[in-house]
Structure 1
Amino acid sequence: MKIILLGYMASGKSLIGSELAKILKINYIDLDQFIEEKEGKSIQKIFLEKGEIFFRKIENSYLKEIISSKDDLILSLGGGTPCFSNNLELLKENKDVTSFFLNVPVNELARRLMNDKSNRPLVAYVSDQNDMLEFVGKHLFERLPFYNQANYKIDGNKVKAEVIENIVSKLF
């Protein structure tokens, strides 16, 4: 069983994934952290030094490596992962994969991102809440067709325990 969490930045994928892994007693992998460990540098540095095309290529390669493993696991994808290469197809073709889109409203995503800008290179330059709302709204609109192809759409705007309970109820 491979549980894949996808959704926009700040939708709670890492938080939910790590908690869910403890409950189900299986491995948890955050794809961005995995890439950083393998490459020996931050995602931000990879983007700066090698560019997005290089990053998307290695992201695809590491995704293949992870989902082809025989182990049960929970994997949180980067916000853009399902939108590039053949990443979504890789997930949909694998019979062991069950994917969950953590859906969070734009205004909540914008609020979370304003509080975490320093850790998010994509939005670090955004100056105020209105600009953040506009950025997130447009960006999320572009990504929703990919996110909506997940096996399940989960309301990610609930308390952590409820989100986890909703995921578990779909699995068993």
Structure 2
Amino acid sequence: MNNETRIVLTGFMGVGKSTIARFLASLLKCGKIDLDTFIEQNERKTIAEIIETAGESRFRQIETENLRRALTGGEARILALGGGAWTTEENRRLIKEQNLTTVWLESSFEHCWRNIRSSKRERPLAGNKTRARQLFDERVKFYCLADWHFIIKPDLTSFEIAKKIAEEVFSMKFD
């Protein structure tokens, strides 16, 4: 892959997409967009507020509208999706149309759940472990559609994972 490659990070909530995107953008010296943050800035509400007031279905529409906006901006080479964005067919189509390379950050449910529980971010769709596990199981079949799969090992830091992605997807070399 060349240095103009643009990628999308997908994976379950709590896997570390936002953090890895930040490190990856730093390594590549390029722009990045965190879709959840992008939505919150544009809508002037948190994701939790949107879901709680408008419902998940309306949130998914808002998410797609904001994804379209983020993709047409074109300045960012790294895009971190929210955990459910990749499950929407329209979102996958928009991403494919832009020729972005998709990377699934694959991890165990337990790893994600630990991160969800320790996060300050409110996650209304993961209200309890049973519901979160159900979502995890439902979404895996969509995550598998990504171009690349990176297995997140608990002994690796987010920076080390970003470095591996930079090496493998972008063919970068580090000392």
Give the whole-Å Cα distance in 1 for the aligned partners of 2:106 and 2:45. Answer: 29
Residue 94 (structure 1) shift = 2.2
Aligned partner of 1:110 among 107, 110, 113: 113
Structure 1 gaps, min length 5: 127-131
Between the aligned residues of both structures, percent identity stands at: 33
1:39 aligned partner: 43
Aligned partner of 2:74 among 70, 73, 82: 70
Give the whole-Å Cα distance in 2 for the aligned partners of 1:111 and 1:70. Answer: 34
Say if 1:60 and 1:85, in contact at 8 Å, map to a contact too.
no
1:129 aligned partner: none
Say if 1:31 and 1:75, in contact at 8 Å, map to a contact too.
yes
Give the whole-Å Cα distance in 2 for the aligned partners of 1:160 and 1:48. Answer: 30
Superposed CA RMSD in Å reads 1.8
Equivalent residue letter for 1:164 = A
Give the whole-Å Cα distance in 1 for the aligned partners of 2:117 and 2:76. Answer: 34
Give the whole-Å Cα distance in 2 for the aligned partners of 1:45 and 1:9. Answer: 17
Equivalent residue letter for 2:161 = V
Per-residue displacement from partner, 1:36-84 (whole Å, max 9, x unpaired)? 1111111111112222222111211111121223324211100000112
Residue 92 (structure 1) shift = 2.2
Q: Map of 1:117-128 to 2, 5 A cutoff?
A: 119-124=122-127, 126=128
Q: How many residues align structurally?
A: 164
Say if 2:9 and 2:81, in contact at 8 Å, map to a contact too.
yes
2:19 aligned partner: 15
TM-score using structure 2 length: 0.85
* SS of aligned partner of 2:12: coil
Structure 2 gaps, min length 5: none
In structure 2, the CA distance between the partners of 1:118 and 1:63, relative to structure 1 (3 Å rule), is closer
Give the whole-Å Cα distance in 2 for the aligned partners of 1:105 and 1:46. Answer: 28
Say if 1:103 and 1:154, in contact at 8 Å, map to a contact too.
yes
Q: Which has the higher contact order (CA 8 A, sep 6+)?
A: 2
